[in-house]
Structure 1
């Protein structure tokens, strides 16, 4: 004891003691980690595969927390400590990995250092794309089989608010496949793709938006239908809330919505410009012939159009028409509407 007190009181000895103590602590922790988490993967032959995405900029602590959250590892602290001891915390590579539940820390770290194990592709789904256009994009990149995707799209409703008994709805998922940039696995199943996009919608459609929809007496279905119309009609941001209110104004006085976008959706082939005869096609989506909302959405709207419906700009317009640049002009009467059409030709 006298010897240890002497070392502590001696400057060089004190430094040496701290150094030895630090090494001892690290060694003990390493032994503990090595004992609990031996090198190599645990026996996971019957475990379900778990897809993990390590994104650019993620720190070791965030990666460890993600792995813990997905039940890949038991303790994020030990994973971080092991990475620190081995000096590997800067070598974990960005990408998508197939992992399993309850793997050893060493096995996981080995995979993350080697790099991504999945063949993925980044895809951008623009706002307003229909289910069929999304299927075209995904099948073109060999991500999914187009026909299988469309078959599932007709009936898939994993969230309660998506359920709709109208037999005229073309695709039940239309309006809920949130447009964004995704990283999909090559040869994914249609359900896997839809789940990713529908989960994103569910995340964006948060408590604040749900409360606002309830305050406006709008179901989720009515919201996405209206938002899809706004998305298709508005090219510029400032037009969205104005057009949304125009649709509300028409619905309030039981006036047909008369949206060309619903005709385009009902037609087999889209046209640059509709003719009078096109507005008379026999379809439940024809909002010239039928009052109220169409049976379903006519595309998948982005958040700007969804918010435009929830927070429309107060006005008393009943008509609008776009000029050659895509800017809309608004009017309160049909006569005024006709004059505007003549003036922008």
Structure 2
């Protein structure tokens, strides 16, 4: 009888010690001296992740880890990816991190006004984006997005994007394209009445021109107003960025012969809008086109400080050009 009691006491003591050790395991922060990147492989089981954590010295006991995960009902809930581990994470916090999928995020900024090729080169050069497209294989992008007849220029929203390692170029492009679709639809829905634009795509084209003409947010509605008024009156847009876009090998300097070179994008030689956007417009440019300023200005010229002078008449515009572009020398006008 005494032996049985003794054995029972030993079992109870052992169970108590095991319970104490298990609770100590749960309460002990991970063995991470400083922030550490840990990868949960795709398809990895709870047991495999526990073993990897133990082998890396991050946790002490893989068995306790697996037991805790199963008791929490999370054996099949771990999400693959890279995770940033911090010294304060306990095993339950680690499990929550992996279950919630709070993976390490990388970033890529696509600036407003970039064109499609600039964006594609930045995506291809990013070390954490997986390239599935062949170099310069731009023709297949819209086809993969389910729009084989669409020109890709302008259809991707410029912004800073966060994503985990292993994101593919098409994942990135699909996300940016869907953002642009939503932004364009929203601005078009809230547009002014009687705009001389027949479709959201025409608004996208004009927004890309506005984006390239000024970097000042406050001026975009005025620049949009000039182009809208010109379209209403049947005047050519006569905007240099469209000419530049149509030059195959632009060397950074626009010349008079360039303005006379007839291409589908030369708004000095062609009426109306160019056939496609010329850049990636941001939300402010889309909004400016949908709701341009209340102005009848037909001209604008750079003041040389990033801002522009707007004029309703050619006479006023000529004076502004002489003042801001020709240093006050009227004899140089028209040369």
TM tier, shorter chain? 0.5 to 0.7
1:151 aligns with 2:115: no
Runs in 1 of length 4+ with deviation above 6 angstroms? 50-55
SS at match of 1:290: coil
Q: Which residue in the other structure is 1:317 paired with?
A: 297
How far off is 1:320 after superposition? 0.9
1:131 aligns with 2:116: yes
Q: Which residue in the other structure is 1:182 paired with?
A: 161
Change (3 A) 1:252 1:214: closer
SS at match of 1:324: coil
1:173 aligns with 2:155: no
With normalisation by structure 2, the TM-score equals: 0.63
**Residue pairs, 1:28-47, within 5 angstroms:** 37=73, 40-41=75-76
How far off is 1:40 after superposition? 3.1
Deviations 1:216-274 (A, max 9, x none): 45422111111110010012122100110110111111111111001111122334441
8 Å Cα contact 2:81-2:164 kept in structure 1: no
Unaligned runs of 5+ in 1: 1-30, 45-49, 56-85, 93-107, 165-171
Structure with the greater alpha carbon radius of gyration: 2
Q: Which residue in the other structure is 1:65 paired with?
A: none
Q: In structure 1, which of residues 118, 141, 158 is the aligned counterpart of residue 126 of structure 2?
A: 141
Q: Which residue in the other structure is 1:122 paired with?
A: 107
How far off is 1:286 after superposition? 1.1
8 Å Cα contact 1:175-1:228 kept in structure 2: yes
Deviations 1:140-192 (A, max 9, x none): 22433573552334656547xx965xxxxxxx232221111112455644321
Q: Which residue in the other structure is 2:316 paired with?
A: 336
8 Å Cα contact 1:175-1:224 kept in structure 2: yes
8 Å Cα contact 2:123-2:169 kept in structure 1: no
Q: In structure 1, which of residues 242, 250, 256 is the aligned counterpart of residue 230 of structure 2?
A: 250
Q: In structure 2, which of residues 236, 239, 242 is the aligned counterpart of residue 262 of structure 1?
A: 242
Q: In structure 2, which of residues 64, 82, 98 is the aligned counterpart of residue 111 of structure 1?
A: 98
1:300 aligns with 2:316: no
Q: Which residue in the other structure is 2:23 paired with?
A: none
1:200 aligns with 2:179: yes
8 Å Cα contact 2:192-2:290 kept in structure 1: no
Task: Provide the alpha-carbon RMSD of the alignment.
Answer: 3.6
Q: Distance in 1 between matches of 2:145 and 2:76?
A: 37
Deviations 1:39-58 (A, max 9, x none): 6338x9xxxxx888999xxx
Deviations 1:24-44 (A, max 9, x none): xxxxxxx9x95793x6338x9
Deviations 1:119-139 (A, max 9, x none): x63111111110011112122
With normalisation by structure 1, the TM-score equals: 0.62
SS at match of 1:321: strand
Q: Which 10-residue stretch deviates more, 136-145 or 175-184?
A: 136-145
- How many residues were matched structurally? 249
SS at match of 1:151: coil
Change (3 A) 1:230 1:35: same
